[in-house]
Amino acid sequence: MSNRLLAQNRKARFDYHIEETFEAGIVLLGTEVKSARAGRISLQDSHARVEKDGVWLYGMHIAPYEHGSAWNHDPQRPRKLLLHQREIDYLYGRVREQGYTLVPLRVYLKGDWIKVELALARGKKQYDKREAIAKREAQRRMQQAVRRSIRGG
Share of the chain above pLDDT 90, in %: 51
**Cα(91)–Cα(149) distance, integer angstroms:** 50
pLDDT score of 77: 92
The SS3 call for residue 91 is: helix
Does residue 24 carry a pLDDT above 90?
Answer: yes
> Is pLDDT larger for residue 128 or for residue 65?
65
First to last CA, the chain: 44
| Mean pLDDT for the stretch of residues 40-63 | 93
Instruction: Let me know if domain 3-124 sits in CATH 3.40.50.1110.
Output: no
Question: Which amino acid does the sequence have at 57?
Answer: L
Query: Where are the domains positioned within the chain?
Result: 3-124
Share of the chain above pLDDT 70, in %: 95
**Cα(31)–Cα(106) distance, integer angstroms:** 20
| Mean pLDDT for the stretch of residues 39-65 | 92
pTM value surpassing 0.85: no
| Mean pLDDT for the stretch of residues 120-134 | 82
Confidence at 1, pLDDT banded by 50, 70, 90: low
Does residue 72 carry a pLDDT above 90?
Answer: no
